[in-house]
Amino acid sequence: MATEGNNLSEYDKSSIPNAKEFRFGIVVSEWNDKVTESLFQGAFETLKEHGVLEKKIVRWNVPGSFELTYGCKKMQETYDMLDGIIAIGSVIQGETKHFDFVCQGVSNGITQLNVNGDTPVIFCVLTDNNMQQALDRSGGKHGNKGTEAAVAAIKMAQLRKEARF
């Protein structure tokens, strides 16, 4: 297990660029909202901790994780001044193949947005076997994947900025 013995919320804060000048979008799935709201809070608080002003963070909700790709695409088109977008979702294994199709679709969709677009889209979609695993990774014993996603968003925004020079 990749998170075994690791806390997703622990990182070297001094290695993160100051994000005061950056603007971010966050697209949040409403499905499994106990998990996704916690992930959002982790991302939101981390962005603010690194200097992002609250007014420079825009949030959109979508019904489920499969809709994250469309939400992120529309956010890219609507807010061309964003420096990064975080896609937040939670897919929990059930008794059918639905889990596989949703996970594959959203991961492929976000990959395509990164390949075809200029604004980095960060994958913050938990794909767990059960609700307890999701809770453990959204503020529980393994920390908060939202925090990790915000750190990745800041680093990618900085990379995007440096690549333009």
Active-site residue, from 34, 98, 141, 161 = 98
CA distance 151 to 130: 26
For residue 61, give the H/E element and its range: strand 57-62
Spacing of C-alpha 88 from chain mean position: 5
Judge whether 91 is annotated as a binding position: yes
CA distance 157 to 26: 14
Judge whether 123 is annotated as a binding position: yes
Judge whether 65 is annotated as a binding position: yes
Judge whether 77 is annotated as a binding position: no
Judge whether 88 is annotated as a binding position: no
**Is residue 98 flagged as an active site residue?**
yes
Judge whether 66 is annotated as a binding position: yes
CA distance 150 to 47: 6
Q: Which residues are documented as binding site for 5-amino-6-(D-ribitylamino)uracil? A: 31, 65-67, 90-92, 123
Known binding-site residue numbers? 31, 65-67, 90-92, 95-96, 123, 137
Residue stretches of the annotated binding site for (2S)-2-hydroxy-3-oxobutyl phosphate: 95-96, 137
Known catalytic residues are 98
